[in-house]
Amino acid sequence: MSLDGDLQHRCLLNRPCPCGRTRPMNVDARGGAVSTAPLRGLPNGSVGERTGTLRPVSASIVLLATDADHVYDEVDAVLGGDHEVVRVHAGAEVLAAVRDHDPVLVVLDLQIGNMGGMAACLDLRLEERAERIPPQRVVMLLDRDADEFLAKRAEADAWIVKPIDALLLRRTARDVLADA
């Protein structure tokens, strides 16, 4: 990608800039200002690690709890354009991540290693009732239709049966967030 020295261009949010230049101050698609963040170029001309971060000022965080890489990839592809997707690999890490990141939405995979999505959702609901955390919006990713009983029992706001349908996940997230 060749650019004129005076030409201002817009780099993708949270993605390395292929040109290796300093990112100009812009406004993202939602109208939030984004910061400039220079990228450090490597000797071979490729872009290396970031020296700064480029994030919308009012970025909303979606917390995803899954130990499956393909689930993370799918959720990030669907929701990553509008939200920053933060991942934890175990259900036991969900409560601490909620306290650290204050997500607008929590997406729990039913089948997670040491503490499943149902237990993690119940833990969040107990902490909410004790007023130790603010109310959370929870979407569960189920393995089969019969697991809907577990999602209802765990008091999830919504659920989707895997494999993940991108349009259904986007619509479900939008509807759950609209009810907030």
Read off the pLDDT of residues 50-87 as tens digits, 9 standing for 90 and up: 444 444 444 799 999 999 999 999 999 999 999 999 99
CA 47 – CA 180 distance, rounded (Å): 40
Q: β-strand 84-88 against 105-109: which pairing, if any?
A: unpaired
pTM: 0.68
In CATH terms, the fold of domain 61-178 is Rossmann fold (3.40.50)
Q: Where are the domains of the chain?
A: 9-57, 61-178
Query: Which position has the higher pLDDT, 18 or 65?
Result: 65
Considering only CA atoms, which of 57, 82, 91, 87 is closest in space to residue 171?
A: 82
pLDDT at 179: 86
Query: Which position has the higher pLDDT, 144 or 24?
Result: 144
Please report which confidence band the pLDDT of residue 114 belongs to, taking 50, 70 and 90 as the band edges: confident
